[in-house]
Each structure stands twice: as structure tokens, then as C-alpha cells.
Amino acid sequence: MGFIGGYFGVYDTASLQRIAWHRRTTGGIEVVKYSPNGRRVATGSHENVIDLYDAKNKTTPYHHRKRLLGHSSTVVHLDWS
């Protein structure tokens, strides 16, 4: 789930307990999309960047992996291939 202020949170659906909480941007997160196999998650923000996270990292769930720069405007949609 993306939030205003650049926060990205993941919660357990049964207990509503927070699993992960990150802030990589100061602009709002517009889109959050899991890869088809569920191993990665990408967020797109108002700062024109995409951040990639390793959702299945055993030691640090949702570990930040990479930042993709160079977009000319807000990232409002993501697709995996």
C-alpha cells in the first residue's frame, strides 16, 4: 500500500500487523504492483522514480533492491513482463 509522503507499507491481511514500512521518496506513492511470481514488488511515485523491493527476502522482507530513474513524469502505472 502506498501513502502520501512517500511511505510504502505491507500488512498481514489476517492480523493487520505491519510486515514492512519504507520511505524512499518524499512524493506520494501512486502505484504498487507485485511481480507475477510474487517475489518482487515495484512502487511508482510522484518523484518520477520506480523503486524495486525483494518481497521474499528471508532475512529482511521487502528489502530495497534498486531505484529506476529517468522518467519524465509521475509514475502512475506499472506492468511486469
> Full-prediction pTM beyond 0.85?
no
What does the pLDDT look like over 61-75, one tens digit per residue?
Answer: 888 999 999 999 999
Percent of the chain with pLDDT over 90: 43
Q: Are the beta carbons of 24 and 47 closer than 8 angstroms? A: no
DSSP letters of the chain? -B-TTSEEEEE-TTT--EEEEEE--SSPEEEEEE-TTSSEEEEEETTS-EEEEETT-SSSTTEEEEEE---SS--------
Distance CA(21)–CA(76), nearest Å, equals 21
23-36 pLDDT, tens per residue? Answer: 777 788 889 999 99
pLDDT at 6: 76
